A and B are shown apart, each in its own frame.
Chain A
Amino acid sequence: MSIEIKTSTLEPIRHTFEHTKRRFGDKPASRYQEASYDIAPEKNFHYRPMWQPDKLLNDSSRTAIVMEDWYAYRDPRQYYYGTYVQARAKLQEVTESNYAFFDKRGFADRMSDEVKAKIIRCLVPLRHMELGANMNNVLCCAYGTSTVLTQAFLYNGMDRLGIAQYLSRIGLLLDGNSTDGLAKAKEHWMTDSAWQGLRRYTENTLVVEDWFEVFIAQDVVLDTLIYDLMYRQFDEKITEEGGSDLAMLIEFMQEWHKDNSRWVDATLKSTVAESEHNKELIGRWVADWQEKAVADMAPLAEIAVGEEAVNASVEVLNKRLAKAGL
């Protein structure tokens, strides 16, 4: 038998806002849609920015990529602020308990000094690279055109800060909060030849003007390579070498990368599919940055994993690009 609580009926006079209705039809729009489409200012900007007088305040010419409709994108995760923070809070909760468990059971003491040193040399310096990623994605957020894109960039940017913070905590867990680990890792980042290529790459991305190119250099090329290298290959390697407990500490990054990749792929795919112009341009950017990245990551890859590591990561990148139609 069924139960039916009656509530008073009021026929709505419309199901959603006009702009969402124009896009998705006259039916209740999802919260993601109402929060993401057509809400950015578009016209009649009053003053040209003092910091870039040759552009309008919001100006889609801040990239060479051309889109008929900048709202042609869709985040497959459908993140708006609420769903985004809730998704991350969930990941965070588990991560927190992993870190606590690692700490409580004294897993750091179970690791050999070599393993610890290797993690501090090869993994922890990524915290600086993540800060670069944070800046790059926030730039894309500030200069991108539609909320569908810009919000995802901001989420990505904040995620990178979060990851940098987790990496720092790994350093602290390994050195018993003495902060030596972090100091050493920074030293590696600043002077160790294994890292200089990547640091140069990162600093170079920070001066790129075209925000879509920044996206390619950072989120597509560098992240694909480095996340594969460090969070897949290095994870396996360090497990072999007796550092299997590291797995608990980097689960966040692995899960995050899986989640984030869905959005990166979708974004790339939509842009490439838009026009030959875009495809050609992105192809060129990818080629440039990939060449640099491969060379720049080689020394680290060698030390962290071994000979074949770079090629394995490049293969992953190529697969990904192919999927996006490149």
Chain B
Amino acid sequence: MTSKKLNMKEKYSLLTRDLEWEYSYRDYEEIFKQESFEGIKITDWSKWEDPFRLTMDSYWKYQAEKEKKLYAIFDAFAQNNGQQNVTDARYVNAIKLFLTGVSPLEYQAYNGFAHTGRQFGGVGARVACQMQALDELRHVQTQIHAMSHYNKHFDGFQDFPHMHDRVWYLSVPKSFFDDARSAGPFEFMVAIGFSFEYVLTNLLFVPFMSGAAYNGDMATVTFGFSAQSDEARHMTLGLEIIKFLLEQHPDNVPIVQRWINKWLWRGYRVLTLVAMMMDYMLPNKVMSWQESFEVYFEEAATSLFKDLARYGIEMPDYAADAIAEKEHLSHQAWSIFYNYGHAAAFHTWMPTDQEMDWLSEKYPNTFDKYYRPRYEKWREMEEAGERFYNPTLPMLCQTCQIPMGFTDMENPTMTSYRQSVYDGERYNFCSNGCKDIFDYEPEKYVQAWLPVHQIYQGNCGGAEMEDVLGEYYRINLGTDNLDFHGSPDEARWNAWHNLQPAEDKLKKAS
């Protein structure tokens, strides 16, 4: 018997789509309860185009090979104490931020895609989500394993999941993902699959990995390369879901448009942390936040929305707001962390002269005018032994939960204030985007667990700052927080590299 040769698409379809059957003992609606409440209309799941065609056997095979290589690097990295080869111990703070702020999002993605991987009525979409769930589990686990060795030699990694659930600035990424996961399955896909994975990956994941590459962190960059091929799959899934929704029914278009508006802004606000990481936390700079924003957001999004226009989708209005902020964002963010350096689980510092010059060059319109004087003042205070810490808790935005450090772009030295009154109570925001998001679904955002209010309500371990930071956040005071300068991390680094202890230590010793 000679066998017919099936092409890949037919074969994949037989091995996946064809497994589905028409339920007759139970109703479709009983089995897929969550498919309709968002208002999305699905007329025909069979129109779903599989974004990739990977049978499980191939998946196992290829991923196993990638894992083998990756762990070979991790082992070698640990064996050789590769952490000694990064450019500078300050760099490590970037990956502390990553492990506490980003890796738990991978976990949430795992959780969220497992959820949609059960809830969608189309087997093609379900399987694609399941595979992404599995990939996201891979990401969180390999990231933990990559950082596991750093954790043995630096402070600030040791309690990352605990911190992610509690620490003030980590509520920014956490609430972002909670927001997506608490939404219905389709909104989740637009939020994460499309806006986050497709549009914003290059601004989130890539800067960390490129930072690692530029700063001698072989473990992290190898993880990055290894994850890239997964990301490509996730991006195609993100695209497919958008196309599918827009093509299924015209009524979906305005819903999707609103989701895109919302999620690009939500995502963009989370990137505030990345902006400051790029401009301030990498000893070897890859590119400035502004440059990367221009290449990966402005240009890329422009061509994307040009294509989406055919479906009747427009570039969100907030894009203009984001673009307006690009020369300020990272500096305002770093100022926030410098203000509250005593409450962060990583170290802060003032840029060196060389670094300031780089910032001036990259931000000719803003840095010297608005930020350099501030930094020079702070440095002066530092040298006088009066390192500036902000003694009072900050006001947060109800939606993005970032301290209200953003300013009015018409008048960049004025804080940007917005307010809504809902059901007799006031709510404050940092921007139009955040306010609109609240106003559209106020019943959702009134629930936000805002760290500052929680502290004032006494829900975070006590009234004393020390209780909040030490007991509740589990930040080890004097090691995890405060300035890099004078930290145990710095001392160990100097010891490994036989560097002279910093001058002030000499002074003290004399």
Contacts and interface: CB of A to CB of B under 8 A. Distances in A.
Direct touching of A and B (C-beta under 8 Å): yes
Nearest to A108: B1
Contacts of B454: 44
Interface string B124-157: 0011001101100110111011001001111101
Interface of A is mostly: helix
A14 B161 CA distance: 17
A17 B160 CA distance: 8
B508 interface: no
Nearest to A143: B115
A142 B108 CA distance: 10
Interface string B85-114: 000000000000000000010011011001
Contact of A186 (B21, B104, B184, B474): B21
Most chain B C-beta atoms within 10 Å of own C-beta, residue among A10, A15, A48: A10
Contacts of B5: 177
A240 B31 CA distance: 40
Interface string A119-144: 00000000110110011001101100
Nearest to B141: A35
B161 A41 contact: yes
A51 B34 contact: yes
B57 A16 contact: no
Contacts of B55: 162, 165
A106 interface: yes
A12 B130 contact: no
Interface stretch (A92-100, A231-239, A243-251, A311-319): A92-100
Contact of B174 (A10, A34, A41): A41
A42 B104 CA distance: 11
B84 to A, nearest CB: 8
A201 B195 CA distance: 39
B159 A17 contact: yes
Contact of B114 (A150, A162, A200): A150
A307 interface: no
Interface stretch (B244-252, B317-325, B441-449): B441-449
Nearest to B139: A81
A106 B1 CA distance: 8
B436 interface: no
B384 interface: no
A212 interface: no
B447 A47 contact: yes
- Range class of the B interface residue count: 35 or more
B56 A46 contact: no
A89 B61 contact: yes
B175 interface: yes
Contacts of B134: 81, 154, 158
A172 B4 CA distance: 10
Contacts of A169: 15
A203 B161 contact: no
A109 B1 contact: yes
A23 interface: no
B153 A10 contact: yes
Contact of A86 (B57, B68, B104, B159): B68
A172 B14 CA distance: 9
B285 interface: no
Contacts of A48: 182, 447
B158 interface: yes
Most chain B C-beta atoms within 10 Å of own C-beta, residue among A34, A95, A190: A34
Contacts of B161: 19, 38-42
Given A128-B19, A154-B137, A179-B6, 8 more contacts: A39-B104, A44-B166, A57-B182, A86-B68, A139-B118, A142-B114, A165-B15, A168-B18
30 contacts: A7-B79, A8-B81, A10-B496, A16-B151, A17-B151, A18-B159, A19-B162, A35-B145, A39-B140, A46-B449, A48-B447, A51-B119, A81-B138, A86-B67, A88-B56, A92-B57, A92-B60, A93-B61, A95-B57, A109-B1, A134-B130, A138-B126, A141-B133, A161-B16, A164-B15, A165-B57, A166-B57, A168-B19, A176-B2, A199-B25
